[in-house]
Structure 1
Amino acid sequence: MRAIDLFAGAGGFSTGAHMADVDVVWAANHWQAAVDVHAANHPGTAHACQDLQQADWRDVPAHDLLLASPACQGHSPARGKEKPHHDALRSTAWAVVSACEFHRPQFVLVENVPEFTKWTLFPAWCSAMAALGYSVAPHLVDSADHGVPQHRVRLFLVCARSEHPLHLKLEPRAHIGANSVIRFETGKWSQVNKAGRSTNTLTRVAAGRARFGHRFVMPYYGSGSGLTGRCLTRPLGTVTTVDRWALVDGDRMRMLTADENRAAMGFPENYVLPVRHREAVHMLGNAVCPPVARDMINALKEAA
């Protein structure tokens, strides 16, 4: 089976496809830094850096499976009310329709946040895919159910050129705790009670200590995991595009390293990341978890 990867980012969808023995022949993204990372890890794939809403699909090789992760920022509530939620971001999903109109691959897998289905134009998008002969089956998938040490619920639209929607049988895997990715001997530690530490942070640390003891993880910003964080035997909460998860160890604490975030996303240990920490975390937070992509594609192949 041959695949292409639209909005490929750092390459989570492509990595999962390779885990499922699928050949990713072409990948594209609008951000050159992401294309460079994808190319470093997938040298056998042809790459393009372009706005996919302006793509000439004649230049894209034939394929059986189209993988796509259109921009989610216009749909995600994590974006916040103060930032724009408009079609400049949401409209990237129409590139999937455009590609399918030209190539008509047998299968399409689209990943996004669950709120994608609440988009005003989502019914029109589904109607456009139906006009091209595709049935659309939504699947809500938590990465923790696929061996990823992170709770990350995402929407996967399984589109097949078939009369009836294709609902995949996904066997849940055992959950893996955050302790599987934590390396206490690494990272930049600081004292919990250092000058300038916010009262909210200190309150969370105190509550976490009371519940879990001297070692645990907690959100350094945002709401998730309440006021106490979570024990290390549980999967992390969602990895985002900026540093979110802090590790507490006695009187010291630090943010998770890029390598720990990579492992929490389910990427291989040797997967090449950008040198700059902020850039690496940004790409990881936008990525598809490779083991989830692997399981989705394997289930799709079994159902085909």
Structure 2
Amino acid sequence: MKAIDLFAGAGGFSTGARLAGAQVVWAANHWPTAVQWHSANHPETAHACQDLQQADFRDAPAHDVLLASPACQGHSRARGAERPHHDALRSTAWAVVTCAAVHRPAAALVENVPEFAQWALYPAWCAVMHALGYALQPIVVDAADHGVPQHRRRLFIVATRSQHPIELRLPRREHVGAARVIDFQAGKWTPVHRPGRSARTLERIQRGRAQHGERFVAPYYGSGSGLTGRCLSRPLGTVTTRDRWAVVDGERMRMLRADECRAAMGFPEGYRLPTQHREAVHLLGNAVCPPVAADLITALKEAA
């Protein structure tokens, strides 16, 4: 099975495809940093760095399955107040249609946040895919159900050139706790009670201790997991494109390291990342979890 990966980013879809025995022959992204690191981890894949809304997909090689993760920022509830640029981000989904129209692969897997299905143009997007001969099966998947140590709910649209939508038989794997990805011997720790620490953070930590003991994780920026964080036996909350999760260990705390975020996303240990922490976290927070992609592609192959 040959695949191409649109909006390839950190390469989660490509890594999952490789785990499932597929060959990713072409990958594209508009951000040079993403292309650089995708190339470093997938040197056997041809790469293109371009705006995919302007791409001539005749330049892409023939393939059996189209993998795509168009921009989610315009759909996610985490986007904040509505701004005009979100319309441009939402429109990246049309690149999937353009590519499918050119190549007509047997199948496509499109990943986004569940709110993608609430987009005003989602019915029109589906109608065009139907016009191209694709039956669509949307499913919402939590990465934690696929052995990823993180709760991450994402919508996957399974598009197949078939008369009726196909239902994938996905495995349900045992949940893995956040403790699996945290190295308490590493990182730059700071005292919990240090000058400048916000009162709300200290209150959350105090409640977290009462609920979970001396070691737990809590959202440092934003909300989530209530006011107490979560115990280490549970999967982590969603990894985002910016630092969010703090690790508390007695009277010290720190943010998750990039390598811990990588593990929380289900990437292999040796997967290469930018040396700059902020870039690494940004790439990871936008990625598809490889074990989820692998299970979906394997199920797709079995259903074909």
Q: TM-score, normalised by structure 2?
A: 0.99
Across the aligned residues of Structure 1 and Structure 2, the Cα RMSD in angstroms comes to 0.8
Number of aligned positions between the proteins: 304
Partner residue of 2:23?
23
Q: In 2, distance between residues paired with 1:222 and 1:167? A: 36
- Counterpart of 1:266, as a letter, is G
Partner residue of 1:66?
66
CA contact (8 A) 1:75 1:85 kept: no
Q: In 2, distance between residues paired with 1:86 and 1:281? A: 22
Q: In 2, distance between residues paired with 1:58 and 1:254? A: 48
For structure 1, which runs of at least 5 residues remain unmatched after alignment?
A: none
Q: In 1, distance between residues paired with 2:59 and 2:82? A: 39
**Moved runs in structure 1, 4+ residues, more than 6 A?**
none
Partner residue of 1:227?
227
Shift of 1:82: 5.4
CA contact (8 A) 2:18 2:24 kept: yes
- Counterpart of 1:240, as a letter, is T
- SS, match of residue 94 in structure 1: helix
Deviation string, structure 1 residues 15-45 (Cα, Å, up to 9, x no partner): 0000000000000000000000000000000
Deviation string, structure 1 residues 92-120 (Cα, Å, up to 9, x no partner): 00000000101000000000000000000
Matched, 1:259 2:291: no
Partner residue of 1:247?
247
Q: In 1, distance between residues paired with 2:259 and 2:86? A: 34
CA contact (8 A) 1:73 1:85 kept: no
Partner residue of 2:145?
145
Partner residue of 1:217?
217
Q: In 2, distance between residues paired with 1:83 and 1:127? A: 27
- SS, match of residue 229 in structure 2: coil
Partner residue of 2:182?
182
Q: In 2, distance between residues paired with 1:295 and 1:303? A: 12
For structure 2, which runs of at least 5 residues remain unmatched after alignment?
A: none
Partner residue of 2:78?
78
- Counterpart of 1:197, as a letter, is R
Q: In 2, distance between residues paired with 1:218 and 1:128? A: 43
CA contact (8 A) 1:17 1:24 kept: yes
Shift of 1:58: 1.3
Shift of 1:84: 4.3
Deviation string, structure 1 residues 165-185 (Cα, Å, up to 9, x no partner): 111111210000000000001
Structural mapping, 1:285-300, within 5 Å: 285-300=285-300
Partner residue of 1:192?
192
Q: In 1, distance between residues paired with 2:78 and 2:167? A: 28
CA contact (8 A) 2:73 2:86 kept: no
Q: In 2, distance between residues paired with 1:9 and 1:84? A: 23
Q: In 2, distance between residues paired with 1:83 and 1:54? A: 23
CA contact (8 A) 1:74 1:84 kept: no
